[in-house]
Amino acid sequence: MFHFDRGIKLTKADLAVDCTRRQPRAFISHAHTDHMARHEYAICTPETARLYQFRLGERPVLHLPYRKPIEWGGLRLTTYPAGHCLGAAMLLAEDGDRSLLYTGDFKLSASATAEQCELPQADVLVMECTYGRPNYRREHRDQTIDRLITAVRTVLARDIPPVILAYSLGKAQEVTRILTLAGIPVLQHPDVHAISVLYEAMGTSLGDFQKYPGRWIPGHAVVAPPRFHKAKPLPGLKKCYQIAVTGWAADAPTRFRWGVDEGIPLSDHADYDELFECVRRVAPKKIYCTHGPASFVDRLCEAGFNAYPLGMPAGQQLRLF
């Protein structure tokens, strides 16, 4: 039903899935740059389509809203919410009595800015497993949010700008909504703000936020991309308190790698326990793991699941199911 040739392809439909090389036809699970390219023709949710075209220019797109199946290339295709960022989707492909679920990036817990994940059952599960190590078991989301809000309020009480570093699409909007719901107004880096305007235009309210006006306004938090995104620096923030908001903050050294004052493990990916919960709920006959540690495949096999790593040397093709 699918094969791997420097990326995943649904064989019958000749449809690439989350390929970062230009393809004649491709499904895009969400609009992060490591999951898309300037394809000749793309299938994705309406929200992802708008973000995709904003980032990569006007492209031919077929909208595939959640839970509205279409017949395409001899397959029945349906998208389901992935809980990762606005518009992020899992793809269920059905071919008669066979079915495959591709998760893309996902998380099972709630989100302030994305529809909660839904998991249909399928014969084959192709899943991302970014946090596929046991040490990536995170505390309850409410506790993490409390930590973030407390940290920001503590810094504001010292009359110092709190700068929260978060990816421009998805995490930055999630953080903004969390803070504004707590009554903390937000100033956004221009790169973040441009995407937040699209979120609002698509009906996802982020609360009291504005573009950074060239100086810090006391009482406001600042949301900006991580330093390694090479975004233009903001003026007036020489003395500030930087907080990295990332699932990798579960590792203490992350704070030093990112060069920040504090790390808070608010993530838009499933943690280790959620990955196992995903497998249990989908109840697949076969599992293929991607974007994560090979050791997670071993953990699944030890638990009695039929699991395999996905990925081969360039140019080598494998028909998997």
Write the pLDDT tens digit of every residue in 186-239: 999 999 999 999 999 999 999 999 999 999 999 999 999 997 677 889 999 989
Q: Are both 124 and 273 inside the same structural domain?
A: yes
Q: Are both 260 and 276 inside the same structural domain?
A: no
pTM for the full predicted model? 0.94
What are the beta bridge partners of residue 319? 3
Neighbour count for residue 287 (Cβ, 10 Å): 22
Domain end marker among 224, 249, 264: 264
DSSP string, 31-54: S-GGG----SSEEE-HHHHHHHHH
Find the mean pLDDT for residues 266-271: 96
- Domain enclosing residue 159, as ranges: 141-264
Alpha helices in the chain (DSSP H): 46-56, 141-157, 171-181, 190-201, 254-258, 272-282, 295-302
Query: 320 pLDDT band (50/70/90 cuts)?
Result: very low
33 within 8 A of 27, measured Cβ to Cβ: no
Q: Are both 76 and 177 inside the same structural domain?
A: no
In the block, tokens 């930087």 appear at 242
With H, G, I as helix, E, B as strand and everything else as coil, classify residue 172.
helix
Q: Are both 214 and 260 inside the same structural domain?
A: yes
Q: Are both 228 and 276 inside the same structural domain?
A: no
Task: Let me know if 314 is exposed, middle or buried by CB neighbors in 10 A (0-12, 13-18, 19+).
Answer: exposed
Q: Are both 192 and 128 inside the same structural domain?
A: no
Domain end marker among 264, 279, 298: 264
Number of separate domains in the chain: 2
Q: Are both 160 and 199 inside the same structural domain?
A: yes
Q: Are both 228 and 277 inside the same structural domain?
A: no
Residue 169 is part of a domain; what is its CATH number? 3.40.50
Q: Are both 130 and 274 inside the same structural domain?
A: yes
* DSSP state letter for 140: P
Q: Are both 159 and 233 inside the same structural domain?
A: yes
Domain end marker among 264, 280, 295: 264
In the block, tokens 């529809």 appear at 115
Q: Are both 12 and 125 inside the same structural domain?
A: yes
As a whole-number percent, the residues of the chain with pLDDT over 90 amount to 88
Q: Are both 195 and 129 inside the same structural domain?
A: no
Token representation of residue 48: 């992802």
257 within 8 A of 276, measured Cβ to Cβ: no
